[in-house]
Structures are given as C-alpha cells and as structure tokens.
C-alpha cells in the first residue's frame, strides 16, 4: 500500500519557496486617499525637493563638458544709424493713345471726302445760317444750306466746292460757288432799311469765289479759313428811288464782295467751334459801303 502511493505524491509539482501564490488578491491601496504631510507653520521651503523633478538633467562639468560640441561665436549686435526708408514709387500713369486729328472743315477748302458729311450751325449779325456738305469725291463736296435774317428774309442755298490745291493736313485752296433764292417777309416797295439792306441779298443770288484754309501743327490746333466771294444779286422787285425817273427795269443787277475770315477750333475728333468775322463791300448807291458780319457756331462731321 505504501509503495503504491509514493509515485503519486512524487508526480505532483512541488511549489517553489518564495513564489507568489496563484490568483493573488488585487491591491486596492491606491483607492484610499494618501496622506501628505503638511509643512509646519513658517517652515523654510525645501528648494531641493522641487528642483529635483523627474527627468531633470544635470549640467556636465569638467571633462564631460569638454566633449560637448562648441557653438559658433555670435558677433555682438552693433547699433547702426537709422536709414531713411525710401517712399514707395508712384505707379506711372497709363499712356493714352494720341488724339486723332480733326480734319472736318465746312468753311474752308478742306473737303470731307467721298461719302463724308459735315454740318454746321451759326448765329450772328445779320444772318443765322445752317450748312451741310456731302462728299461726292475726294476733292468735291456738294453744299446746301439755309440763311435767315431772323425771319425777315429766308434764303435757300445750293452749291459745290472743289479743292484745287491739296497741301495735306496743313493747307488747301479751292473754289466754291453757291446759288440761292431769297424770300422776303415784306415787299421792296414798303421796306426801308430792312432785310434787303442788312443782308445785301435780293430775290436771286449767285456767289462764286475762292476759299482756303491753314491749320497749325497739332491734332487740336485751330484751322484758319478765308472766304472771298463776289455776290451777284438779281432783284426782280426793283423800285425807282428817283422822282420822275420813269419805270424801273424788270430785273436789276447789283454786286457786292463778301469777305469772311475766321477759325474752326477743334474740340474733338470731328467737332469744332467756328468764329467768323468780316463784312460785305457793297456797290449799290442806295446801301452802305460796308456792312460788318460776325457769327459764332459749331461744325461737326459724320
């Protein structure tokens, strides 16, 4: 019996001394509040306790410090005088294209060209007028217009101008001719120094003459013009101003010399102001020898 139980006892593993028991009970001491001793009243602080925090590194000394890499020497900062900061540069203004020269002339010899058109309106003494020029050729324009002595006389005009000499954009010389028919508010028998006297026109009028213009350099420079005509007037209502002079003729012919000098002052590519001064040199005995003329208007092209 004893020999049979001995092998069974020997086969069970023997527990080694000092080994932790299997399935030990958990440690719950962390759940209990710890006791931290409070410093005594007016007790000097312990500097060594808070300086020796975990992870602190010690400064190497002696031989250990010699093996550390040496940092390059940094030159000391030297103060310098204040330097004036340059002002920001103003961006350059945008470059505009050069203005287009004004070549639209209605009162000189410069034509508007084939297919071009220019119109003008002028107010002054003794006539107000409206003009239009239509180009039928590079050097030929057809003219049409209306003159009025502020309602006392209204005149329809048609004509043409031919630029004989073309000096380019600076100058030109040509010839012009216009014919007109005038309608008077009052008959000649009752009119005394009225529309006929101031305008110099009669029932039918023909005005041939020479025109020219000169423009100064520049796209907006003034353009001077000169217009010298001969006015041949046909009066179909002549009156006899001499007692016992007999019956007046059916048609009376008279002449005058209208002279106009002025300037077209461009304000844009196709528009100009126009100033005209001059007068009519009369040859009729019953009229003044010279009648002054002044007008101001505008000329524009299309």
pLDDT at 191: 87
pLDDT at 4: 46
pLDDT at 9: 43
In sequence order, which residues have a C-beta less than 8 Å from that of residue 28 and are 6 or more positions away? none
- C-alpha to C-alpha distance for 129 and 154, rounded to whole angstroms: 10
- Residue 262's CB is within 10 A of a number of other CB atoms, namely 23
Strands (E), 40-116: none
In order of 13, 163, 213, 222, 246, the CA distances from 265 in angstroms are 130, 21, 12, 5, 53
- Residue 272's CB is within 10 A of a number of other CB atoms, namely 25
Claim: this prediction has a pTM higher than 0.85: no
Give the distance from CA 120 to its chain's centroid. 25
User: Of all helices (H) and strands (E), which one includes residue 65?
Assistant: helix 62-66
From first to last of the 302 residues of the chain, give the pLDDT tens digit: 444 444 444 444 444 555 556 666 666 666 665 555 666 666 666 665 555 555 556 666 666 666 666 677 777 776 766 666 777 888 888 888 888 889 999 999 999 999 999 999 999 999 999 999 999 999 999 999 999 999 999 999 999 999 999 998 899 999 999 999 999 999 988 888 899 999 999 999 999 999 999 999 888 899 999 999 999 999 998 887 667 767 778 899 999 999 999 999 999 999 999 999 999 999 988 888 999 999 999 999 98
pLDDT at 49: 58
In sequence order, which residues have a C-beta less than 8 Å from that of residue 233 and are 6 or more positions away? 200, 201, 202, 204, 205, 253, 254, 255, 256
């Amino acid at each position: 019996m004893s020999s049979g139980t001995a092998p069974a006892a020997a086969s069970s593993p023997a527990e080694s001394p000092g080994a932790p028991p299997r399935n030990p009970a958990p440690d719950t001491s962390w759940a209990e509040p710890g006791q931290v001793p409070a410093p005594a009243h007016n007790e000097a602080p312990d500097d060594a306790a808070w300086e020796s925090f975990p992870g602190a590194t010690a400064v190497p000394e002696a031989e250990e410090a010699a093996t550390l890499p040496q940092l390059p020497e940094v030159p000391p900062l030297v103060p310098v005088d204040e330097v004036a900061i340059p002002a920001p540069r103003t961006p350059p203004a945008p470059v505009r294209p050069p203005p287009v020269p004004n070549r639209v002339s209605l009162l000189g010899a410069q034509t508007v060209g084939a297919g071009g058109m220019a119109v003008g309106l002028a107010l002054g003494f003794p006539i107000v007028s409206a003009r239009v020029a239509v180009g039928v050729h590079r050097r030929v324009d057809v003219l049409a217009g209306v003159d009025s002595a502020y309602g006392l006389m209204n005149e329809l005009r048609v004509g043409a101008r031919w630029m004989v000499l073309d000096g380019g954009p600076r100058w030109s010389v040509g010839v012009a001719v216009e014919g007109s028919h005038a309608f008077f508010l009052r008959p000649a028998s009752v009119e005394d120094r009225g529309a006929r006297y101031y305008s110099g026109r009669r029932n039918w009028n023909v005005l041939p003459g020479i025109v020219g213009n000169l423009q100064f350099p520049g796209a907006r420079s003034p353009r001077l013009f000169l217009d010298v005509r001969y006015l041949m007037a046909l009066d179909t209502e002549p009156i006899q101003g001499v007692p016992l002079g007999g019956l007046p003729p059916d048609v009376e012919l008279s002449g005058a010399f209208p002279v106009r000098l002025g300037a077209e002052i461009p304000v844009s590519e196709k528009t100009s102001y126009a100033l005209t001064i001059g007068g009519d040199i009369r040859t009729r005995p019953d009229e003044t020898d010279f009648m002054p003329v002044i007008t101001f208007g505008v000329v524009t092209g299309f």
